[in-house]
């Protein structure tokens, strides 16, 4: 799998349409996958970013956050 430098990559129209994606001023990319929201946070690690999946309850509160195994930040699942 290739590295995705979320900090330097431009948000493509294809990703905006496919994932309802946005990127904020800190270069964090957010992608809506329907069941969860993916956050790709720029980092200085092997992948060049950390990936987190946020799951929500029907009332809009966060149910859990899952950090991918290659992250330099937290890894695993945190429940709220």
Domain ranges of the chain: 13-79
Report d(CA 30, CA 40) in Å as an integer.
Answer: 7
User: Which pLDDT belongs to residue 18?
Assistant: 82
State the average pLDDT over residues 14-23. 84
Q: Which residue has the higher pLDDT, 13 or 2?
A: 13
- CA dist 59 and 37 (Å) reads 15
49 exposed, middle or buried (CB, 10 Å; 0-12, 13-18, 19+)? buried
Residue 41, helix vs strand vs coil: strand
The alpha-carbon radius of gyration of the chain (Å, integer) is 13
Q: Against a cut of 0.85, is the pTM above it?
A: no
Is 60's pLDDT higher than 70? yes
**Residue 35 CB-density burial (10 A; 0-12 exposed, 13-18 middle, 19+ buried):** exposed
Q: Across the chain, what does the average pLDDT equal?
A: 89
């Amino acid at each position: 799998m290739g590295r995705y430098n979320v900090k330097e990559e431009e948000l493509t129209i294809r990703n905006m349409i496919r994932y309802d994606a946005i990127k904020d001023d800190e270069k964090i990319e957010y992608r809506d996958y329907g069941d969860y929201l993916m956050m790709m946070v720029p980092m200085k690690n092997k992948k060049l970013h950390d990936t987190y999946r946020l799951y929500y309850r029907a009332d809009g509160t966060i149910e859990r956050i899952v950090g991918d195994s290659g992250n330099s930040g937290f890894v695993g699942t945190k429940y709220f």
